[in-house]
Chain A
């Protein structure tokens, strides 16, 4: 039974790695630039999930030292730092996505397509 328990505990990590690979696949293989940006977002999300998953604890509670709330045992606290990190990293991620999307808007207005190959072809056409 112990073996089974370890296996279950590892599932989230396997899923996170799968998600990371899905993101990288999207960024490298997809031809549509919007899909590349979506892939980038999935890639970043998997990293956030790793932080959250690493800090999860069964039966843990908020990290506030207050006997009135019944929290007196520090070992039961959920470590808040990874979640704060993710919160910060999320903001960074949102900003990156926003810049990427604004570049996409610019590109679509200029060339009328987001397909990478077609876009490069039209760029050459306009240049010559």
Chain B
């Protein structure tokens, strides 16, 4: 797109703002016990407020009420949704098709906000109307360049009484080709030959001549190796190709006792990368042998970690088989 085309495109895009996606939709069935029970079964919901009239009576609810997060379910189209929308059926579809036709083929729900005026009573009929409320300027996101689209939905009953509202924000983006390949870590193929994203894993250490041996020892011998100069015996971590004391490039290694103390730590909350478990309690450990290393403290609540606390080695294994030396609080005695 050149500058003029881009202007025309954005003008047309922004013309969607304020449009209702279509006529207001009324749910096929009124709020009813069978649908509530089916919902509660799936969600593992046992709250008597939704299931047991006798028990609900003595509570703030007074009678059986629908679970609050079911609000949208009462007006969902149901079966018809399985056919997809190759031909746009409403303004929302037209907006999405318009963007897809211009290369913004990726779509990702990013945020929702629901406000529940009150819980719904049995027998109420729910009607909803949705408006395309906002379309952002073009934004650079982690997924690619794109537009955030916010729709707002109002819900009311047959008396016109407001029941709640919802806003829903999606990102419509241009997936960069290379980003698509890199996104889910390594790619696999399923039986039908479609590319399938593999489950993300922690970033693996690139294996070079100066560090590969160390990770191999962790994997094969279940130890925490410490590099040792084969000539003067000085220990060093992280491994390096020369001893800074005697200049020798010969080395072997010892297995650390696994005992150490927390020298310092941080608790990592954000940003969160796929393949890691957050929050991460990240530590620098003083090993009993005198060397220091960066690692992760597990089996310990973030608020319990302290500088100076004794820790012990644990060779952790990921689902994909990768082994990595972690620490946990030292057991007494």
Do A and B interact?
no
